[in-house]
Structure 1
């Protein structure tokens, strides 16, 4: 019992704690914690085509990105220092996923606004005005149809991705492969627009 107490006292002593801090700082793990996130070295295949990945050229990664990373060990922000131009091109899969969220927000705002109008008794005149005008009715029906179709079709795509068996990535049979993601994004964007146009013409 006394030995355990003596050990605790020794561990809590300032000298022991200082020695442990020096040991942590001299180790590779401690160096990462005390200097910067990510350690001293950039991974050999970072962003480059290799046996593991096709690289990140499809994101618009600059050819000298490894030199830039060595100069700036922390990952850059999404936008450049001017807060206008992004560092990387957004792939079509990312854009289609963003549109899925935008349509969800648009429907939430639109349905909330329609609910407020309905409670105040002003929804029927608005609907009548839109129905009687092609310039108002057609865009409104198209936008509403597009948001509904795109958002729920996008949700089905994400549901399929979540439950699809990925398997061996080397076989390139997964639905998450870049060409298949781009194809599904094109079908989602174009198909939703076509169906929304048909609904707007009805």
Structure 2
């Protein structure tokens, strides 16, 4: 009786050991799991899981462009005289991202002058507050082959809440001389109530 029970136990143990060995061998021989195709939903889900657990630092948001700093009088000051700009005018930079096409930006107190040189046809204000705005083209020179002003400027006060847009129309040169007019410069000025200074952008 003992021999029969011992035989049965040995057979059961051997069967269990064989099943365990077979499972281990199957796991070793199984082909590696294939990655989800690039761009598939599964791949996107995997990428999202990895990013979530990666702990990488998020990119910092770009810094806001600096605003212009003007010395603003407590009361509205009178417009500077034409001769004052050459003596008292302080050179400024246009706001970041501008391409001023050689134009200059100056200010005296809250007053700003933008002056451009080159063959001009017209300067116009496209919209905004007209208070205190002055637009001027240079006189036409004596050269009969250059029948257009060779420069022009706009002068205006810059105060909180202002919004203005100007356009310079220049002259394009062709093989027969000055043949057509085109936009030379677009100037925008704004000072929103929550900003510390104005944005003066030229392009």
The two structures have a TM-score, normalised by structure 1, of 0.22
Higher helix share: 1
Larger radius of gyration: 2
